[in-house]
């Protein structure tokens, strides 16, 4: 079992995943794209459970990007409906496993039904202190950076802050990822080697793991494989190998 090879002392605190390949997975079976999205829910359950088992503190899943609004209307509607449905059915599982739900992204622009379901699930799980599951919804890293810049510019205008005194940590606390440590490991499925506007600031020093596995096929074993690969790397942060 791969899980037995994982060094529990060197588990990442935060794993972020770009869940990609649902459409291609469905197409390969002659099914509509939405069937791929529905099947991807099982993979979400698997990785969430895998992370909880390992004692990982944060798992961020890229579920819907700001750019995804440009998809056919029918697909967007189906994705939003799936989100509401999944959140409603999974809350009890989250509570049972002591998992807290959070979101990042511009949730104000989500349909009212999605906003309500999310707000309720966040409230219902807020006291759980195990894994924190963060859904990136209507998320775009450039949007997040811009809204942080605007918040800070406002503070400067109101003379609460000066440009000279502005620190990295002031900036970070204006991002929607405030209070969440940067991910040590970023996984992308489906064979694409790109970031697609995800966590640009936060992944400055993350280890990247790209796998050809399509998201609906992604299982715990694939997660454990990514963690093992992460543990085989030397994270130097600019230093030399000898200094580590
Ligand atoms: C990822 O799968 C899910 C979302 C982006 C919502 P895709 O729907 O992008 O699947 P492919 O990339 O078309 O195969
Ligand atoms: C990235 O996947 C967004 C999510 C996984 C939610 P996409 O399938 O939208 O990415 P691109 O457009 O192929 O880069
Ligand atoms: Mg895709």
What are the pLDDT digits (tens) for 147-178? 999 999 999 999 999 999 999 999 999 999 99
Pocket test for ligand 2, best of 20, 135, 141 (most atoms within 8 A of CB): 20
The pLDDT tens digits for 183-203 are 999 999 999 999 999 999 999
Cβ neighbours of residue 45 closer than 8 Å, sequence gap 6 or more = 90, 93
**What is the rounded distance in angstroms from the CA atom of residue 157 to the CA atom of residue 153?**
6
68 belongs to the catalytic site? yes
Is 239 domain-assigned?
Answer: no
3-state helix, strand, coil split of the chain in percent (to 5) is: 50, 15, 35
pLDDT given at position 91:
97
154 belongs to the catalytic site? no
Q: What is the mean pLDDT of residues 38-66?
A: 98
Q: Is the CB of 197 under 6 A from ligand 2?
A: no
pLDDT given at position 63:
98
Is 157 domain-assigned?
Answer: no
Distance (angstroms) between ligand 3 centre and the Cα of 68 equals 9
Q: What is the mean pLDDT of the chain?
A: 97
Is 163 domain-assigned?
Answer: no
pLDDT given at position 27:
98
How many domains does the chain fold into? 1
- Please list, residue by residue across 48-63, b when 16 or more beta carbons sit within 10 angstroms of its beta carbon and e when fewer do: bbbbbebebbbbbbbb
Neighbours of ion ligand 3 (CB under 5 A): 20
Residue whose Cα lies nearest atom 13 of ligand 1: it is 23
Is 164 domain-assigned?
Answer: no
Is 112 domain-assigned?
Answer: yes
Beta strands in 91-214 (DSSP E): 100-104, 132-139, 185-188, 207-210
Query: Which range of residues forms the domain containing residue 107?
Result: 13-140+182-230
Closest ligand to the CA of 22: 1
**What is the rounded distance in angstroms from the CA atom of residue 42 to the CA atom of residue 35?**
12
Give the chain's end-to-end CA distance (angstroms, integer): 30
Is 25 domain-assigned?
Answer: yes
**What is the rounded distance in angstroms from the CA atom of residue 30 to the CA atom of residue 243?**
53
Distance (angstroms) between ligand 1 centre and the Cα of 19 equals 7
What is the domain-level CATH number for residue 43?
3.40.1180.10
pLDDT given at position 215:
99
Cβ neighbours of residue 20 closer than 8 Å, sequence gap 6 or more = 188, 189, 190, 192, 196, 214, 215
pLDDT given at position 46:
97
pLDDT given at position 138:
98
Q: Is the CB of 63 under 6 A from ligand 2?
A: yes
207: alpha, beta or left, given left = phi > 0 and alpha = psi -120 to 50?
A: beta
Closest atom of ligand 2 to CA, residue 18: 5
Residue 82's closest CA among 32, 150, 145? 32
Is 173 domain-assigned?
Answer: no
6: alpha, beta or left, given left = phi > 0 and alpha = psi -120 to 50?
A: beta
Is 108 domain-assigned?
Answer: yes
DSSP symbol at 38:
H
pLDDT given at position 139:
98
Grade residue 181 by pLDDT with cuts at 50, 70 and 90. Answer: very high
pLDDT given at position 94:
97
The pLDDT tens digits for 110-127 are 999 999 999 999 999 999
pLDDT given at position 186:
99
**What is the rounded distance in angstroms from the CA atom of residue 184 to the CA atom of residue 208?**
9
């Amino acid at each position: 079992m791969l899980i037995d090879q994982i060094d529990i002392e060197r588990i990442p605190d935060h794993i972020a995943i770009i869940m990609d390949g649902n459409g291609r997975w469905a197409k390969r079976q002659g099914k509509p794209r939405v069937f791929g999205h529905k099947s991807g829910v099982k993979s979400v359950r698997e990785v969430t459970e895998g992370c909880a088992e390992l004692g990982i503190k944060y798992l961020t899943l890229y579920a819907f990007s700001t750019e995804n609004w440009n998809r056919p209307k029918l697909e967007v509607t189906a994705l939003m409906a799936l989100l509401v449905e999944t959140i409603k059915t999974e809350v009890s599982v989250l509570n049972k496993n002591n998992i807290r739900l959070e979101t990042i992204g511009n949730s104000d622009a989500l349909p009212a039904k999605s906003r309500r379901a999310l707000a309720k699930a966040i409230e219902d799980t807020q006291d759980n202190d195990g894994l924190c599951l963060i859904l990136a919804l209507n998320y775009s890293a450039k949007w997040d950076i811009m809204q942080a810049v605007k918040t800070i510019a406002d503070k400067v205008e109101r003379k609460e802050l000066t440009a000279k005194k502005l620190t990295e940590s002031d900036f970070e606390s204006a991002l929607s990822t405030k209070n969440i440590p940067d991910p040590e490991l970023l996984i992308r499925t489906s064979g694409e080697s790109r970031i697609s506007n995800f966590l640009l600031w936060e992944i400055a020093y993350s280890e990247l793991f790209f796998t050809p596995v399509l998201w609906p096929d992604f299982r715990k074993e694939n997660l454990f494989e990514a963690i093992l690969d992460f543990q085989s790397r030397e994270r130097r942060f600019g230093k030399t190998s000898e200094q580590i």
